[in-house]
Amino acid sequence: MDFVEFLINRGDDMLELGLEHAAVVGASVLLATIIGVGLGVASYRQPRSREAILAVTGAFLTIPSFALFILLIGPLGLGFLPVVVALTLYGLLPIVRNTITGLREVDPAIVEAALGMGMSRGQVLRQIELPLAWPVIITGVRVTTLVLLGIAAIGSIVLGPGYGDLIFTGLARVGTPVAVNLVLAGTLGVVVLAVLFDVLFYVIRKLTTSEGIR
Amino acid sequence: MSTLVLTPERLAPEPLHAPRRSLAGYLAMPAILALVCLGLYLYVTAQQLDSIESRALTATALGTAVWQHLQLTAVSTVITLAIAVPLGVLLTRPFARRLRPYLLTLLTLAQAVPTIAVLVLLAVAFLFLGFQAAVVGLVLYAIIPVLLNTMVGLEQVDESVLEAGRGMGMSAFGVLRHLELPLSVPIILAGVRTALVINVGTATLTTYINAGGLGDVIVAGLSTNRVLVQVVGAVLTAVLALLIDYLAGLAEDFLRPTGL
């Protein structure tokens, strides 16, 4: 069967799996951003906790995804949940690292001036430091999203949602004509999602970056 | 009876000549990994294994899986670096400068292509299976991050240093050889570490194209529905990956030129 014909025939499947894939990655990125920025903000001023947090989140990223998915079956079972937890753990490092880098790159003279004007630490953080660090933070979120889109496909091993399903079904039918189409369709789906997410982040970055540093 | 002979205590770091972290910082990771292995060993020996489990968890079976895994990782890392580092140097030369933004976007997006898709495509589209297919798949996947790393690293070399080199009459090649490359050693070492970590992780998936590795143990556990076997495979995979990352981190700390 022709690949294009295959895609048209499976159009509804492709759309449904795409929505699932985007949902599981979107939820994980959101969680990783909340936790990651929180950890970054909490630790960027203390070298010790900063090093510790970077070491631990780095270790998460080092654990092969296949192994982590399997280890999470025990406590979390199969399906959506272990995939979201695994992806969130994987997503932390780039976000924490960029948050810390972004916050540390803020010119100390600006912070000094703000404190001199009588702003509290919290105000300085919310009104000065985070807005200035934001472009760096959102770049971390973007990189995380692209990496997680790929890893999410492996989540199919624990019956997770998304395009991994097509890839593993293709693998199971190796040797049949439909196998190549299945795998190609799964791969294409992930790449299309990657482009869409990238465009989304470009727009978000434009809209949320404070006017003075655009 | 199962025996796990893979505890990493013996690989504890040698006496440190120029500590960049505290001694405790260096010893923490091997100590944790040794404890995990010991805990796993004690847990497994305390279990009553059925025939499937005891066959999957012999020292020979696990040793073979680890050895295959290490071979896959080592071979694919060497090939990845041999391709990605020179390519990174080439793509940062002036003639490629206009392509750069497009190339960076393309490479960043390409990172989203799932590893498993690359491996499975080799299998289903070309019926290419086994060790060589796995190496091709691993290299294809790992090239992108290492290439990105090298390109960004070379560009971070201070332009004024290069200008000074040219002003002293160095040729373009001389600048690359005597200034850019030595100054990029930390970035290249980081690339080695990245490639190792990615390959040791991806090598877990090569079991799906009959290339062995620790993924074999996990999949054996999955297909026979033996949780214990799955967990042993997964824990060993994680320990091996963390150990390799740790050793690459040591190399990064100690091979860095002292002037930097």
Name residues 161-180 of chain B within 8 A of A (Cβ).
Answer: none
* Position with higher pLDDT, B6 vs A97: A97
Q: What is the pLDDT of residues A130-179, one digit of tens each?
A: 999 999 999 899 989 988 999 999 999 888 899 999 999 988 888 788 88
Minimal C-alpha gap between A125 and chain B (Å): 29
The pLDDT value given to residue B260: 57
The pLDDT value given to residue A11: 86
**B240 to chain A: nearest residue by CA?**
A63
Q: Domain-by-domain residue ranges, chain A?
A: 3-213
Q: What is the pLDDT of residues A178-188, one digit of tens each?
A: 888 899 999 99
CATH number of A3-213: 1.10.3720.10
Instruction: Determine whether the interchain pair A184/B109 forms a contact, defined as Cβ–Cβ distance below 8 Å.
Output: no
Confidence of residue A1 (pLDDT cuts 50, 70, 90): low
DSSP labels for A151-189? HHHHGGGGT-SSTHHHHHHHHHTTTSHHHHHHHHHHHHH
Query: What superfamily would CATH give domain B22-255?
Result: MetI-like (1.10.3720.10)
CA–CA distance, A58 with A63 (Å, rounded to integer): 9
Averaged pLDDT, A13-24: 93
Residue A210 is given by DSSP the state -
The pLDDT value given to residue B20: 55
Averaged pLDDT, A14-30: 95
Instruction: Show residues of chain A in contact with B109, CB under 8 Å.
Output: 146, 191, 194-195, 198
What's the predicted TM-score (pTM) here? 0.84
Instruction: Look at residue A34 and tell me whether its pLDDT is greater than 70.
Output: yes
Lowest-confidence pick of A82-96, A118-132, B45-59: B45-59
| pLDDT < 70: residue spans in chain B | 1-21, 258-260
Instruction: Determine whether the interchain pair B197/A62 forms a contact, defined as Cβ–Cβ distance below 8 Å.
Output: yes
- Compare CB distances from A67 to B108, B114, B204 and report the shortest one's residue: B204
Q: What ipTM did this prediction achieve? A: 0.84
Confidence of residue A53 (pLDDT cuts 50, 70, 90): very high
The pLDDT value given to residue B13: 33
Amino acid at A50: R
CA–CA distance, A129 with B23 (Å, rounded to integer): 34
Averaged pLDDT, A8-26: 92
* Position with higher pLDDT, B210 vs A213: B210
The pLDDT value given to residue A37: 95
Let me know: does B104 contact B151? Beta carbons within 8 Å: yes
Amino acid at B65: A
The pLDDT value given to residue B152: 81
